[in-house]
């Protein structure tokens, strides 16, 4: 059974955070999405028992969305903050 109650998803991900970070590196969980700086090459699954209930956190490579940061000055090797405010915010959270 899949569920997307944000509060429960956050609690389960916090419970398994170390294992997820070991596999993906630093990440940010927002709603039903996990943002990371690494590109996945295969689907990863983390079995977890939370409050006596068995569940699995699955990160499916087939539904992965790759976000490339580029902007007006992409040719110069940079990106423009005003073009990617959400992406920049997520990147800042991951790095901090």
| Domain residue spans of the chain | 1-64, 66-96
Report pLDDT for 9.
81
The set of residues, in sequence order, having a beta carbon less than 8 Å from that of 36 and lying 6+ positions away, is 24, 25, 26, 27, 28, 94
Q: What is the pLDDT of residue 88?
A: 65
pLDDT at 30: 79
Give me the average pLDDT of each 10-residue run along the chain (96 residues): 71 88 86 80 89 87 73 53 62 66
Instruction: Determine phi and psi for 49, rounding to 5 degrees.
Output: -110, 115
The pTM (predicted TM-score) of the whole model is 0.62
Select from 37, 33, 10, 13 the least CA-distant residue to 24: 37
Instruction: Give the integer Cα–Cα distance in Å for 93 and 26.
Output: 10
């Amino acid at each position: 059974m899949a569920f997307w109650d944000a509060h429960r998803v956050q609690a389960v991900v916090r419970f398994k955070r170390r294992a997820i970070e070991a596999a993906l590196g630093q990440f940010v969980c927002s709603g039903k999405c996990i943002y990371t700086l690494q590109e996945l090459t295969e689907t990863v699954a983390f079995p977890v028992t939370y409050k006596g209930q068995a569940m699995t956190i699955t990160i499916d490579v087939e539904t992965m969305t790759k976000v490339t940061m580029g902007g007006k000055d992409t040719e110069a090797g940079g990106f423009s903050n005003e073009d990617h405010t959400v992406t920049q915010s997520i990147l800042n959270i991951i790095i901090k």
